[in-house]
Amino acid sequence: MNITSDIKYLGVNDHEIDLFEGMYEVPKGMAYNSYAILDEKIAIIDTVDVEFKEQWLSMVRQVLGERKPDYLIVQHMEPDHSANILSLVTCYPEIILVATAKAFQMMKNYFGTEFTDKRRIVTDGDTLALGNHNLTFIAAPMVHWPEVMVTYDAQDKVLFTADAFGKFGANDVKDEWVHEARRYYFGIVGKYGLFVQKLFQKINDFEIQKICPLHGPILSENIGYYLDLYNKWSSYEPEEEDGIIIAYTSVYGNTKKAALLLAQKLKEKGCEKIIVHDLARCDMTEAVADAFRFNKLVLATTTYNAELFPFMREFISSLTERNFCNRKIGFIENGGWAPIAAKLMRERLEKCNDVSFAENTVRILSAMNKENVAQMDALVEELV
């Protein structure tokens, strides 16, 4: 597939994978992208997952024909992109590897060698001339690992963005980009918003006509839409105002009833954007992405072993370790004799920056009563 007349797509679709990075459900598979720039010199950008070694090498041979690659640009060392470095070097022993110093240290960990006889260490702003295509490397540490860099081709105005602007899902499955890109971003890169913002400052002046990530489709239209979304996500701004996520756990159904009643009352008050997640049964990575999508969050759970119910504990940890901030939070707690869930949830979330808490908490003693309904009505008034 041609991305431009000189830039070719060398990616693969993985429909066998069950969990990406060992934890993210990917029902629509996963794409591992790789690229070749054919000029007076030939550069390959990144490799693909180890399972696709033969398929990928065959594509490389097909695209290059009799020619040999001069450079392998390694933007990111996570194995979904780096697994075939050694295989390519074995096929083309004269190839030069281009990467950051940290990437070469990681190569030693993975392959037992830093390729000292065939390495070119680059730092922020370094360039590589292929002929007509002059590449600039931009250090992007912690987007998503410390060795990451992205690559700008000034000739075709293409930005190769490593994991940034990637998404879950294979490229031969049609879906809505934003949904799986949001889940991917907040699942995998979300903790490092500050570093994504730093990258944005560096690429601000670049004219970008195409974005080539290491996962998901090549983005070639409406680039401003994608840049705006990433800017919002990485600055932890809600993607949409006036939306409310209700995330609950329920042991015997009473907390669930409360969560659903809250959703109904909010709708009756005209709140249109409400998403309810049962944390024990939903894909929690969806719930995490949604929590960052809207500006308000209500958590409903029970006290369990004098602690929070386990799925709620996990959910809150997933938020706080990703720098959850800048949101309004309300609580529904349930407990048969000594409910402390609201206190425990608040203690965990108080460490987050710029969060505010609803003054009204719904405090259920086993099952909703009239007093709880009044508490909920007060909470609804605060939220809308």
Q: In whole angstroms, how close is the CB of 61 to ligand FEO at the nearest point?
A: 24
Q: In whole angstroms, how close is the CB of 209 to ligand FEO at the nearest point?
A: 23
Q: Which two tokens stand for residue 171?
A: 């490229």
Residue 297 CA to residue 273 CA, distance in Å, equals 12
| DSSP characters over 322-353 | TT--S-EEEEEEE-SS---HHHHHHHHHTTST
Contact call for residues 338 and 370 (beta carbons, < 8 A): no
Amino acid at 32: Y
Residues engaged in binding ligand FEO (CB under 6 A) = 76, 78, 80-81, 144-145, 163, 214-215
Q: In whole angstroms, how close is the CB of 83 to ligand FEO at the nearest point?
A: 11
Q: In whole angstroms, how close is the CB of 203 to ligand FEO at the nearest point?
A: 19
144 versus 265: smaller Cβ distance to ligand FEO: 144
80 versus 114: smaller Cβ distance to ligand FEO: 80
Residue 321 CA to residue 341 CA, distance in Å, equals 20
Residue 234 CA to residue 195 CA, distance in Å, equals 8
Q: In whole angstroms, how close is the CB of 3 to ligand FEO at the nearest point?
A: 19
Residue nearest to ligand FEO according to CB distances in the complex: 78
Q: In whole angstroms, how close is the CB of 343 to ligand FEO at the nearest point?
A: 37
Contact call for residues 316 and 299 (beta carbons, < 8 A): yes
Q: In whole angstroms, how close is the CB of 44 to ligand FEO at the nearest point?
A: 17
Q: In whole angstroms, how close is the CB of 77 to ligand FEO at the nearest point?
A: 9
Strand order in the sheet with 35-38: 7-9, 35-38, 42-45, 71-73, 96-99, 119-121
Distances (CA, A) of 96 to 5, 100, 117, 131, 265: 24, 13, 9, 16, 63
**Which candidate, 299, 276, 280, 303, places its Cα nearest to that of 352?**
299
Residue 258 CA to residue 299 CA, distance in Å, equals 11
140 versus 298: smaller Cβ distance to ligand FEO: 140
Name the one residue in this structure whose structure tokens are 């209500």: 298
User: Does residue 163 sit in helix, strand or coil?
Assistant: coil
Q: In whole angstroms, how close is the CB of 81 to ligand FEO at the nearest point?
A: 6
Region of 100 on the Ramachandran plot (φ > 0 left; ψ -120 to 50 alpha; else beta): beta
